[in-house]
Amino acid sequence: MAAKRPTVTIKEVAEAAGVHFSTVSRALSPATRARVNPAIVARVEETARRLGYRANTAASSLRTRRSHMVGLVVPDLASLLFPAILNGIEHTLQEQGYLTIVADTANDPERHRRILSAMVERQVDGLILASAMLHDAVLDEWLDGPAPIVLINRTDDSGRAPAVLSDDLRGIGLAMEHLAGLGHVRIGHVAGPQTLSTGATRRRGFAAAGAALGRRALPVAEAASFSREAGRLACAALLDAHPATTAVVAANDLLALGCYDALTARGLACPGDVSVTGYNDLPLMDLVDPPLTTVRFRHRDMGAEAARLLLARMAGQETAGDVLLRPELVLRGSTAPPSAAVGRGGAGPAAGGRRSPPRARR
């Protein structure tokens, strides 16, 4: 099958079907199909199929100024957060005939610039950015560009582009209420980088929820990045400064895993000695040890929602402001009531210290 294909164009189809090539164009495009005699439409379609005609989108987007492609820019493709988001974006765009170009900035602004430039040159009809910083110079350069922009997961502080976000204030609130409900009083926060909206907002949420519970000035340690290692360091710092801490709210799951490491390193058990909560509910968080209590929002929905928002904007519609996804708390094994013990301090690297007590899973 599949005869060697020396690119057949609309003109060759026209010749074979015995009509003018403009008629072929009209016959093949859903929008104009109605304007041509049904008999001819049928004939043209049949010839096109027979010759193996494939439209050349480069030509058509040159003429129409629409490429039916959108660009997705992420800070780190390898993160476990993106597969589901990307999946949501890609599916809803695909349904509308759009293809998705994705690129990874590796957190490098220069690279970010180059990528956006390359995408715009490819005439993308719109952009979804998961790469926004809180004060984002790169973003500024493109807000007036030809392609509408939607932010996802993170936002910037200009408010000039609509964003699809988890409702972090509420999400962190849920975690705090849960811990307070268990009886925790000495709660600390391992915050994410304050240059990112997620880091900053969750920290604000932590302070606000603390205040609501009548506890001002709960301790916070800021991690240098959203990574397990940074979480370990920040948690260690937190525990050094506040050894009596019985619960830590981590700004995301990776940081929470780092907290596990820090606890293990000083022979503390989770949740026996210290409870830990995460944020995001990454895949497999139900399988780590102990299974992580964390705040979930539907990643796939976040992607789909961003895609829908972008589709609306590309269609020229004005859109209301940001979209906040409702978070929910998922209870697992990393949180428990505080133990009576007080004044711990011993460091020793006890292996296995953080095994959770047996508990039913799921």
How far is the C-alpha of 309 from the C-alpha of 315, rounded, in Å? 10
Residue 92 interaction partner, one of DNA, its own copies, none, beta carbon < 5-8 Å per kind: none
Q: How far apart are the first and last CA of the chain?
A: 51
Our finding on whether 29 is near DNA (CB under 7 A) is yes
Residue 280 in contact with residue 160, Cβ under 8 Å? Answer: no
SS3 state at 106: coil
Which is nearer to its own copies, 185 or 350 (by Cβ)?
A: 350
Residue 170 in contact with residue 326, Cβ under 8 Å? Answer: yes
Q: Which of 190, 188, 168 is nearest to 179 (CA)?
A: 188
Residue 153 in contact with residue 82, Cβ under 8 Å? Answer: no
Our finding on whether 240 is near its own copies (CB under 8 A) is no
Our finding on whether 347 is near its own copies (CB under 8 A) is no
Our finding on whether 22 is near DNA (CB under 7 A) is yes
Q: Considering only residues 148-167, where is the footprint of its own copies by CB under 8 A?
A: none
Our finding on whether 40 is near DNA (CB under 7 A) is yes
Residue 11 interaction partner, one of its own copies, DNA, none, beta carbon < 5-8 Å per kind: DNA
Stretch that binds DNA, among 2-10, 145-153, 171-179, 220-228 (CB under 7 A): 2-10
Q: Considering only residues 49-108, where is the footprint of DNA by CB under 7 A?
A: 53-56, 59-60, 62-64
Question: In the set 49, 54, 160, 326, which binds its own copies (CB under 8 A)?
Answer: 54
Residue 20 interaction partner, one of DNA, its own copies, none, beta carbon < 5-8 Å per kind: DNA
Our finding on whether 113 is near its own copies (CB under 8 A) is no
Q: Which of 280, 272, 286, 290 is nearest to 334 (CA)?
A: 290
Binding-site size, its own copies (CB under 8 A): 68
Question: In the set 12, 15, 113, 120, which binds its own copies (CB under 8 A)?
Answer: 120
Q: How far is the CB of 69 from DNA (least distance, A)?
A: 15
Question: In the set 35, 107, 109, 143, which binds its own copies (CB under 8 A)?
Answer: 143
List the structure tokens of 240: 């050094």
SS3 state at 285: coil
How far is the C-alpha of 45 from the C-alpha of 7, rounded, in Å? 17
| Number of Cβ within a 10 Å radius of residue 212 | 12
How far is the C-alpha of 204 from the C-alpha of 168, rounded, in Å? 9
Stretch that binds DNA, among 23-31, 80-88, 245-253, 278-286 (CB under 7 A): 23-31
For 34, 61, 212, 285, the CA distances from 55, given in Å and listed in that order, are 19, 11, 61, 45
Q: Left, alpha or beta for 105 (phi > 0: left; psi -120 to 50: alpha)?
A: alpha
10 Å CB burial of residue 221 (0-12, 13-18, 19+) is buried
List the structure tokens of 210: 């603390």
Residue 208 interaction partner, one of DNA, its own copies, none, beta carbon < 5-8 Å per kind: none
Amino acid at 242: H
Kindly give the pairing relationship between strand 293-296 and strand 328-330. antiparallel
Question: In the set 18, 38, 145, 181, which binds its own copies (CB under 8 A)?
Answer: 145
Binding mask 67-106 for its own copies (x = CB under 8 A): x-x------xxxxx-xxx-xx--xx--x--x-xxxxxx-x
Our finding on whether 127 is near its own copies (CB under 8 A) is no
Question: In the set 119, 132, 256, 302, which binds its own copies (CB under 8 A)?
Answer: 119
φ, ψ (nearest 5 deg) of residue 275: -85, 150
Give, in degrees to the nearest 5, the angle at Cα 318 between 317 and 320.
130
Which is nearer to its own copies, 78 or 320 (by Cβ)?
A: 78
Q: Which residues bind DNA (CB under 7 A)?
A: 7, 9-11, 19-23, 25-26, 28-29, 31-32, 34-37, 40, 53-56, 59-60, 62-64
Q: Which residues bind its own copies (CB under 8 A)?
A: 1-5, 7, 54-59, 61-62, 67, 69, 76-80, 82-84, 86-87, 90-91, 94, 97, 99-104, 106, 115, 117-123, 140-146, 257, 264, 282-284, 287-289, 300, 351-352, 355, 358-361
